[in-house]
Amino acid sequence: MNITVVGLGKIGLPLAVQFADSGQHVRGADINPAVVEAVNAGTEPFPGEAHLAEKLAACVGDGRLSATTDTRQAVSESDAVVVVVPLFVDADGVPDFGWMENATREIAAGLRPGTLVSYETTLPVGTTRERWKPMLEEGSGLTEGVDFHLVFSPERVLTGRVFADLRKYPKLIGGLSGQGAARAKDFYEAVLQFDDRPDLPRGNGVWDLGSAEAAEMAKLAETTYRDVNIGLANQFGRFAASRGIDVYQVIEASNSQPYSHIHRPGIAVGGHCIPVYPRLYLWNDPTATVVRAAREANADMPAYTVGLAAGAYGGDLSGARVVVLGAAYRGGVKETAFSGVFPTVEALRAQGAEVFVHDPMYSDDELGRFGFAPYALGTDVDVAIVQADHAEYRDLSASDLPGVQVVVDGRRLLDPARFDGVQFRTVGKA
């Protein structure tokens, strides 16, 4: 097959490489010339994705993968088009379809009869049928279900482990017609390989959910569940701490029963998915009070954690030198999308603290571009707050933070025994 992947970001590029590695001819289309140039040179444009560098070099080297800024031309030569263009959400939870609409117009202009188009970007329910179908038909002059087929198939992977996740999780599809779903099933079975999963009710592989709307909702449901579960864990943690209870023991005990799957509390919920997709769900279903309450509870955790630090320090952080450990939204990933570092720093500055940020994955110049004052381990500091669970922090001790009087562990990562004589707090524990 000739395949075009539109959008060569942290999900789209590994997908393009996966398809090429499965023996197909793949064109990657992206509006960023620097990304296109790097891909055509066989060089990963961003670090941190396991096995991407070697797989990309091999696929480009033998001619199975190339990149272009001309989406229209690439689509005109394709049997299948996979779309992984970002969808943004504003502070009020309103989706901004701008980038996706621009990409869809280019796809429509190059669309030819017989092509399968699959959107993998997470979408509000109904978007594939109500927004993309009319745009593709109008821009191409073709009829969906007759001249071309349109499906939704959500990406279900985490950056840093995309190739492993592609094998591990069923590939969900939902078509606008039975024939389109059949085409999508054949397509994904040709380009993906699946691990054996005897724990699944129907085995690992491509799962047809019967409609694009069901597939759209499945992705929103699985990520919203996580946000709601974390919100519940955070509320449990705050209550337990107020009563002198170790919530982690409570969660471990509760989860020993097979119907309980409580997540862990923490300083923040970050990344491209969990803070965003519940808002997409709420855009469809504004009456979902449980979802809204969880989102609000999670958004409040950075300020709550700063409050723990202030309380342990004497109630006032004005003038205190405070370091936030971790700019990334999670450990081991060089990505700050919706990271808890931003509201944490904001809350500290609001209390008058002198704030610094450290992250082993970012240079001082990179931290400075975020508006942060960089911190070097071994420099005097009064308070430290762990925001990201980087492995490099696991063995930190008081000697790495000279003068530190208060440590608040927002990820339950540190060993309190290494901080003898220091006021040590863990989110969720008294």
Q: Report residue 315 as tokens.
A: 């109630």
In eight-state DSSP terms, residue 132 is I
| CA 32/CA 191 separation, integer angstroms | 26
| CA 315/CA 308 separation, integer angstroms | 9
Choose, from 10, 219, 334, 429, the residue flagged as catalytic.
219
| CA 302/CA 284 separation, integer angstroms | 27
Do 403 and 384 meet the contact criterion of CB atoms below 8 Å apart?
A: no
168 given a catalytic annotation = no
| CA 75/CA 81 separation, integer angstroms | 7
Nearest in space to 425 (alpha carbons), one of 317, 321, 305: 305
Nearest in space to 175 (alpha carbons), one of 204, 212, 203, 202: 212
Nearest in space to 1 (alpha carbons), one of 71, 62, 80: 80
209 Cβ contact list (under 8 Å, min separation 6)? 172, 173, 174, 215, 218
Q: Are strands 406-409 and 354-358 parallel, antiparallel or unpaired?
A: unpaired
Distances (CA, A) of 210 to 184, 274, 388: 12, 25, 39
Do 133 and 104 meet the contact criterion of CB atoms below 8 Å apart?
A: no
217 Cβ contact list (under 8 Å, min separation 6)? 125
Strand partners, 65: 26
User: Listing from the earlier edge strand, what are the strands of the sheet with 2-6?
Assistant: 65-68, 25-29, 2-6, 80-83, 116-119, 149-152, 171-175, 206-208
Q: What is the dihedral of CA 86, 91, 95, 101, to 10 degrees?
A: -50
Chain CA centroid to CA 228, Å: 16
Q: What share of the chain is helix, strand, coil (3-state, %, to 5)?
A: 40, 15, 45
| CA 224/CA 222 separation, integer angstroms | 6
219 given a catalytic annotation = yes
| CA 259/CA 243 separation, integer angstroms | 25
Number of other residues whose CB lies within 10 A of the CB of residue 275: 22
Choose, from 10, 55, 273, 429, the residue flagged as catalytic.
273
The residues that are catalytic are 219, 273
